[in-house]
Amino acid sequence: MRWWILFVVTLLAWSAQAQEPDARARADELLRAGVELRKEGREGEAFERFREAHAMHPSPRALGQMGLAAKSMRLYVEAERYLEGALAATDDAWVQQNREALELARNVVSKQLASLLVRSNVNGAELLVNGHSLAKLPLEQPLRVPAGSALLELRAAGRASATQQATLPAGTTTELAMELVPQKPEAPKPSIPKKTPKPLPREEPASWAPWIFTTLGVGVVGVGIGTYFGVRTVMKKNERDEVCPDAACSDDRGIELDEDARRSALASTISLTIGGAALATALILWLVEPVANTADARFLTRISF
């Protein structure tokens, strides 16, 4: 049984050794691609290539390239961390060959940074600098932050947040104390008694009486005018028949009487039509007229009548 375990361990070790050159070769390809991207000024893409290479096969060379790309993107805190990590590998051939350039880059980056040490009365409080969460208190050592003006904020559960504007000179360490006070409970809002809305006054339905009387008047006048022209039509026709008994009439007087009779007949027809329509409308309005209070009873009385 032991020989079988030894065989499996040996096989796994051999497989890992076989895969390591492949990972290293792929990492080298990513590093070369990143360098070409940096030459084109595409620092963000180059940084991603270097990061992938370091994740695939960690090396001081990948760290150094990441630091140089981060410096170009003005990510000074990250650049300093990567460059120092690369310079720590004193026995690496690539670092030895490029040490002067790496140290120069680190010195440039360091001049853009300050150290910050914040103390508080609450352990576990979250420290934010310019809106970015950096660490939980207490701090074991000062934090490296961009130099210049900074807005510091401290947060903790059950405590009111504390903020402070600070100036952090480059190359110096700034120590600050920020106190968090318990958060005051919100005062209950006074309850406002609900007012029962008053019922709106009942609007009396508008009377249709003016329309009824108007249409009734129009109907009576129309029927009257139509009746007048109807009688006049009969009279003119009789006079025409006396002058011209025959259907065809060549007498001027007969022709004039015939035209008068036709005009009177047309006027009678129009007047009677308008008058009849107006009377019918008046009747409908009278039947459906809205009335107040006793509307239902009066309406029923009317239609039953």
Within a domain: 40: yes
Within a domain: 262: yes
Domain of residue 55 covers 8-110
Q: pLDDT by residue (tens digit) across 194-214?
A: 777 777 666 656 666 776 778
CA distances from 216 to 80, 206, 225, 226, 275 (A): 101, 19, 14, 15, 9
- Whether 300 shows a pLDDT value over 60: the answer reads no
Instruction: Note the pLDDT of residue 292.
Output: 39
Instruction: Note the pLDDT of residue 9.
Output: 40
Asked whether residue 120 falls in the same domain as residue 77, the answer is no
Instruction: Note the pLDDT of residue 172.
Output: 94
Q: How far apart are CA 230 and CA 226, in angstroms?
A: 6
Give 246's pLDDT tier (boundaries 50, 70, 90): low
**Going by DSSP bridges, is the β-strand pair 132-136/126-129 parallel, antiparallel, or unpaired?**
antiparallel
Nearest-Å Rg of the Cα atoms of the chain is 53
Instruction: Note the pLDDT of residue 31.
Output: 94
**In the listed set 162, 178, 194, which residue is the last one of a domain according to the structure?**
178
Residues 6+ apart with CB under 8 A from 173: 114, 115, 116, 117, 142
- Whether 2 shows a pLDDT value over 80: the answer reads no
Q: How far apart are CA 31 and CA 72, in angstroms?
A: 17
Asked whether residue 221 falls in the same domain as residue 295, the answer is yes
Domains: count for the chain: 3
CATH of the domain at 143: 2.60.40.10
b/e 101-110 (16+ beta carbons within 10 angstroms → b): ebeebbeebb
Asked whether residue 76 falls in the same domain as residue 148, the answer is no
Asked whether residue 56 falls in the same domain as residue 95, the answer is yes
Asked whether residue 170 falls in the same domain as residue 236, the answer is no
Within a domain: 263: yes
| Lowest-pLDDT choice from 76-85, 269-278, 281-290 | 281-290
CATH of the domain at 20: 1.25.40.10
The predicted model scores a pTM of 0.55
Within a domain: 154: yes
Asked whether residue 155 falls in the same domain as residue 232, the answer is no
Q: pLDDT by residue (tens digit) across 95-112?
A: 999 999 999 999 999 999
Residues 6+ apart with CB under 8 A from 109: 67, 71, 76, 79, 80, 83
